[in-house]
Structure 1
Amino acid sequence: MTLLRTRVPLLALTASLTLGMGPPTDITEVTLLPAQIVAQADVPGMKSKLEDLASVDPVTPLPASARDSMQSMGAIQALSLFGREDLVAEQSSNYPANGCAALTGVGEVMGEITRRARQTSIVIINESHERSEHRGFTAEVAARLRPLGYSIFAAETFSNPEPGQQRFLPSFMTRPAQSYLEDGGGYYTAEAGYGRLTRRAKALGYQLLPYEITFDKVKTIKGRRDEQVAVREKEEATNLAAIIKAHPGAKLLVHVGYSHAAEVPQERGNRYMAARLKAKTGIDPLTISQTTCRGGGAERRLAALPADEPAGTFDLVVDHPSATFVRGRPTWRQRAGDRAVTIPAMLRPRSGWRVIEARPVGEPITSVPLDRVAIRAGEDVALMLPPGRYQLRAIDVPYVKPAA
């Protein structure tokens, strides 16, 4: 493959904060080194994800006519994965405020989580797969729990190979001491916020372990939709119970999507992973939802479980403020210490999509970068980076109209 290379001027931006998801540093500038432009992805773990982005029309990424369609849901996921929550927020149900009442008689959010985590050995926290802020919050929770003895970080998205499989093993298995994850370690880990969450967990000394149902077992699932879901939930709980058995006395932080954290039966008697794990192990987990309530105030808070949710579904409900954006990027990242950094003009595309990646100098192109964002012609979209020195890389992603 022929690589197109160009050089850009060094760009420095004074900063005074360090990102809360990484280790402390005395570096106070963001420096971008010369960039490389490639015509197509040359990292196997990103091929299918870039193909998903290529199928999103850059002119009208989320047309109103396709609302709630499978095409729209695919576009939402691709845009979120490549850092464009700003294009998703108006259409996705994971962003509008929904009027939850504040939870009374409790302390501040992190203090209450810490207090309750002392009383168990399993903490399960969920996320919306579209909102990177949820991953930043889980990174904060991981930092609070580590001094309490929590030492295993298990995530739904981590690739889980069949026992004995030696090909395509994820980097968190083959190179556990490596400070970063590589692309291919999981679907959602390709998003920069998730990549930072795993960097933070590694820096804190967590062991990263998978528990998702294996692909070979997925292929054998048959029956109705609810029966298929039940098989997956049962398998996830079984795998987590096996981790607990293999690590006596260990404490687990488990990161899931949406209802997997529900610890009581739901409508029609559906029992999700947390409820099944509780029954299998006899351990009452601390379950935390970030997807139930949103937009309740200017600061994050704990909310009361809505009346239409079965009692006891989650132990705690975290209500994040409504998402806001600056230069196409979520402002929570600035509050965490990132700086908004201008993408050099010569790296901006004339048409289609271009994905801009920023990695710490010295890391290979297989690492999940500290930022990865899709941009279009004429946009002033910023990179969001903590102080440091970064190598830029740009990947052209021409639009490919999906087959009718």
Structure 2
Amino acid sequence: MVAQPLTGLKVLDLTRFIAGPLCCQILADMGAEVIKIERPGGEDSRKLAPFYQGHSIYTMLYSRNKHGGTLDTRHPEALAILEDLIRNADIVVENYRPGTLDAMGIPYERMQELHPGIILVSISGFGQTGPLAGRALFDGIAQAASGLMSMTGERDGRPTLTGAFVADYIAGYQGAIGALLAVLHHRATGEGQCVDVASIDALFPVLGTAPSAWAMNGTVMERNGSRDRMSGPANLFETKDGFLYLHAGTDPLFRRLAVGMGQAELADNERFSTVASRMDHIEEIERIVAEWIAPLTCAEAGEVLEEAGVPYGKVAGVDEITDSEQIAAREMMVDVEHPVLGTLKLPGIPVKLSATPGSIRKAPPLVGEDNDFIFGTLLGYSDERIQELRDEQVI
């Protein structure tokens, strides 16, 4: 097997839902040994639809390559077990509300006593500091509170949630980046540190120029539908059999579009010859493009745009993109063999490394599937001790 970049790194995953589990899965995909702990009976996300053979697909998406264990963290015996797990870890990842680790008896100071040099990654809604630090947050709340929702939707419509959990995913990626940076520092100095990632912080930069435009110019960016704010024509257009997004906002791209449409003179028209002039007459130029594209199918329009060198994309349904040749070529839907559930079809690994690629080595675990490995093989508990913990409903 090809060596992986994080082989030998041990991660304790105390997270739930998306951001934290995704952070840990990224590390696991690249070779880290990840111990995922959830309550006996399973975490809340295991109750979320859709289901495959009675098991939540939601949970499957963020659990591959992990060893699954259970622990009732509120049980009187849990603290000693948590401390053993921390001694065995290089990184602890958690997404409790700030202050919860202190209440559990394992603040970062205690973790350092148990394992000097340990790294703690905390992913929370509003971060470990600030007036909102103690508040709970889900993805939709992050989209609302960050300003993103105010910018999403039609100009005369209501603020709109995006179609995916973008805040959770971005926070998960930032958590993984922070963990890796802390690992580099540890390898250079032997020092551990705390990595503080807030969903609201992770999403705020996605607003692009909007915050700086307000801070420096006093202008507020409002909802703009699918129209690009900076240049045009760059918008969603309806064809004979669907919708297609094209971007011809720069001057060279617009000239290519004009030629492709058979209306080359548009590029020299003073109303459309520059980015600024096109934005001043954006509705007019979009109407011209809309009239050109309306009688065409997506395939016919795409052929013209491809030949002209204008970037475009058909609005694909989830079924179309999932079954597409491009996704297959990029190995972004893969078969994962599960010992109980059979073949699972799950998203692949988006980061492609040429020398040390990630891999899917283990299917998402069932609840407590690896308790014997975690508490027996890793922590050295006897079979009798493990059975006692089961009988007392500690694990």
- TM-score scaled by structure 1? 0.28
Of structures 1 and 2, the one with the larger relative CO (CA 8 A, separation 6+) is 1
Query: More helix by proportion, 1 or 2?
Result: 2
Query: More strand by proportion, 1 or 2?
Result: 1
